[in-house]
Amino acid sequence: MRKNVVVGLLVLVVAILAVGCAKPPQQELDAMKAALAAAEQAEAPKYAAAEWDKAQQAVNAANAEVEAQNAKFALFRSYTKAKQLIADATAAANAAKEAGIAGKEKAKNEARAAIDAAKASLTAAQQALADLEKCRRKPKDLKKDLELQKGNLDGLANQVNQLEDTFNREDFFGAKAQAESLKGQLDNLATELANAKTKIKC
């Protein structure tokens, strides 16, 4: 009977020591950090902000659990929960990376479409100005207005040409915003020129 008790106690002590000797899952932690770094390199903070925030929160939770276990007395440490949190964080970081890649490609395509649309509006406005200049009947104030509008159009054309530089710097959000703004201005100018042509019955 005594022998069984002693054996039981020894088994219990061994079990406690086995748990207590648990070490931080360093390999998994390193993999998690590498996954987060890869997501940052894929520009997830810029092109997949929601996924990036989720990954960061998951990493913080995993690190907090590891630190909490590290602070415990050696015999009572357990990294089971930490390993699961690390796995979740690594998956979230990988998802952020993929989302960053996809988000950048989407932003690039949208910027290109916006630039092309702005260029089309520029062509339309230039054509509207050329058509108005061909009119034989020109009121006295029209020539002055035409010079003013031509100057405005030249300025807008220069800005449209600069869009390619912004695009090539991979400032896709900026290129899209500028292109959309310029398109609006060019469309308004083309409308004004067309209305002027109609007004003088050209």
Q: What are the domain boundaries of the chain? A: 24-104, 107-199
Structure confidence by residue, pLDDT tens digits, 9-19:
443 444 444 44
pLDDT of residue 169: 97
- Is 25 in contact with 78 (CB distance < 8 Å)? no
Low-confidence ranges of the chain (pLDDT < 70): 1-21
- 37 and 90 Cβ atoms separated by less than 8 Å: no
Calpha distance 24→27 (Å, rounded): 9
pTM here is: 0.81
Torsion of CA 91, 92, 93, 98, to 10 degrees: 90
| Distance of alpha carbon 144 from the chain centroid | 46
DSSP 162-199: HHHHHHHTT-HHHHHHHHHHHHHHHHHHHHHHHHHHHH
Handedness of CA 91, 97, 100, 105 (dihedral sign): negative
What are the pLDDT digits (tens) for 103-150? 999 999 999 999 999 999 999 999 999 999 888 877 777 778 888 899
